[in-house]
Amino acid sequence: EVQVVESGGGLVQPGGSLRLSCAASGFTFSTYWMSWVRQAPGKGLEWVANIKEDGSERYYVDSVKGRFTISRDNAKNSVYLQMNSLRAEDTAVYYCARGGYCTTISCWSLWYWGRGTPVTVSS
Amino acid sequence: QSVLTQPPSVSAAPGQRVTISCSGSSSNIGNHYVSWNQHLPGTVPKLLIYENNKRPSGIPDRFSGSKSGTSATLGITGLQTGDEADYYCATWDSSLSAWVFGGGTKLTVL
């Protein structure tokens, strides 16, 4: 059974940092792109970042570039999101999901998702 | 403003059919596969359709997907009250180098 479990969310002050973790199981982790997606209160889903199977490619939504860093440890079947210089608008539930990349001939849809971890940025 | 455009809401009676549209451009839908996720806030999002029209195991054939040019459509037949949720189209945008979602469509089963 595929499982994706996020952790590390919480309350942080503006300008602060937080590191989210995502532990995956039930599939060959090292052969899949992984993504972070967030949902702010009352808003829709917003993709945040993804990382290639071997970590050699990473992409970010413009609003987090230079502040967030996605990484992975295939030995631990885990993906991480280091969030720095946090702002109130980063407040959201953060989901980890398998997939989130396409080429012109293949696509890795966001297939399996975790339950999410809430992040609140407030003083 | 989302890169992919969906209607904010749709509604229909139980047992009826509804369609949800998703409009994009050549840099996203026009050149990449489209997927659809179902999400009830507070729950785990679920993949309904991948590669334009394929259903993961366990997704009933009441759900269907199609794509034409730079637009995609999700169809749901035999509506049930349990189908009430938010539906999102998504794909890769090669100009933005980003995964993009539609703004989401709230389905109400009257």
Q: What are the tens digits of pLDDT across the range B73-93?
A: 999 999 999 999 999 999 999
- DSSP designation for B5: B
Which residue ranges of chain A lie beneath pLDDT 50?
none
B110 vs A: CB within 8 A: no
Q: Tell me, what's the pLDDT at A50?
A: 96
What does the pLDDT profile of chain B (110 residues) look like in tens digits? Answer: 889 999 999 999 999 999 999 999 999 999 999 999 999 988 999 999 999 999 999 999 999 999 999 999 999 999 999 999 999 999 999 999 999 999 999 999 98
Tell me if B86 and A97 make a contact (CB, 8 A cut-off). no
Q: Tell me, what's the pLDDT at A108?
A: 87
Buried b (16+ CB within 10 A) or exposed e, B52-90: bbebeeebeeebbbebeebbbbbebeebeeebebbbbbb
Helix (H, G, I), strand (E, B) or coil at A119: strand
- Round the average pLDDT of chain A to a whole number and report it: 96
Helix (H, G, I), strand (E, B) or coil at B15: coil
Q: Tell me, what's the pLDDT at A106?
A: 85
Q: What are the tens digits of pLDDT across the range A26-59?
A: 999 999 999 999 999 999 999 999 999 999 999 9
Strand B105-109 with B9-12, pairing:
parallel
**Taking CA A60 as the corner, what is the angle to CA A13 and CA A38, rounded to the nearest 5 degrees?**
55
Q: Tell me, what's the pLDDT at A85?
A: 98
Q: Tell me, what's the pLDDT at B85?
A: 97
- Round the average pLDDT of chain B to a whole number and report it: 96
Pick B98's closest partner by Cβ from A47, A109, A112: A47
Helix (H, G, I), strand (E, B) or coil at B81: helix
Chain B interface mutation, best of A64, A102, A104, A111, highest count of B Cβ atoms under 10 Å: A102
The span from the CA of B14 to the CA of B82, in Å, is 10
